[in-house]
Amino acid sequence: MRKLAPIILLLFVISELYSQNTKTLRAVFYNVENYFDNNVDSTREYNEFTNEGNLRWTYGKFLRKRNSIYKTIVAVGEWHDILLVGLAEVENAYVINDLIHNTPLSVLPLEYCHFESNDHRGIDAALLYNTSYFELVYSEPITLSNPSDTSYVTRDIIYAKGLVGEDTLHVLVNHWTSRYRGLLESDPLRMIASMKLGNVVDSIFMDDLNANLIIMGDFNDDRDDESMTHLMENRDLTNLNLVPQFNNVAGTLKYQHSWYEFDQIIVSQSIITGKSGIKSSTSAVIFDPDFLLEYDEKYLGYKPFRTNIGFRYNGGFSDHLPIYLDMFHVQ
């Protein structure tokens, strides 16, 4: 036992030194479901989320929506430092600024990447980042187009490159075309997004085989669907398994009786191994506390507590549940 004592002490000292020099940072993705202001946008035909629109979207409803988003971000952060928050279905820079400057999130040094897309409803993807840990170097929108249909418009993919300490991190935030018009029409559009995203990933790896890369988003496809398997094929990427945190839900959104994992986080192998200074946990987490769920009277069990059900105001949070990934940076 005496011989083991110095070894145990050495292991304890190494563990303490490692923990002191390692920072846990949380990366989050959340499709917030229709985060609109209530102003009429004269640049597009879609204006349902206004006082005069079919959804009777008042300023009070906007404030309640804003507050539900900040409360969710604070809750999903728990006691960890937020590094990144990818968002889907935000209307414009105004609603993002209101979220990070006029709520308790204002105590955090948050900035954002956002670009106005040509989406017909006017919803975009965005990335919030904590300037204490992420120094933005470059960002751009990656526009998606359909060569066989020039009228096709959708939201952009957000690309951001930044430094976490001295280590480079590439981030891609996605919100691919929905299944609203059926799989026959929408499957090819998500494949277009998959091929475009794959080309971006390839160019990043061409510059640095050990690049730290995190891809997050609402892909509107499950991990086993063709668009996602095509993205993963022959690339040094891992689509992380999703583990529910509280209520053992079977996905991030529910349609009728079935749950789906359309919201996913994908990382490069270098992040799995920690080879380039940033390491992640081996799975991502579905944040599913009671307050984000409601009882499903029609199909039983639970479902996300959403803001609107059709044209009826439901007063909830979103039709999607947030997901997150813990990342560890050796300082």
Spatial CA neighbour of 264 closest among 297, 291, 295, 231: 231
Q: How much of the chain exceeds pLDDT 90, in percent?
A: 82
CA angle 70, 73, 79 (to 5 degrees): 125
Average pLDDT over residues 67-90: 96
Residues 35-53 pLDDT 10s: 999 998 867 778 889 988 8
Average pLDDT over residues 280-301: 96
Look over the chain and give the mean of its residue pLDDT values, rounded to a whole number: 92
Q: What is the pLDDT of residue 331?
A: 64
Half-sphere exposure of 112 (CA within 13 A, CB side): 26
Global model pTM greater than 0.95: no
46-50, 74-78, 295-299, 310-314 — which is least confidently predicted? 46-50
Q: What is the DSSP letter of 103?
A: S
Residues 183-214 pLDDT 10s: 988 899 999 999 999 999 999 999 999 999 99
Average pLDDT over residues 322-330: 92
What domains appear along the chain, each with residue ranges and CATH number?
A: 24-330 (3.60.10.10)
Q: What is the pLDDT of residue 250?
A: 96
Is residue 22 pLDDT above 90, yes or no? Answer: no
Q: What's the per-residue H, E or C state across 240-287?
A: CCEEECCCCCCCCEEECCEEECCEEEEEEHHHHHCCCCEEECCCEEEC
Q: What is the pLDDT of residue 17?
A: 37
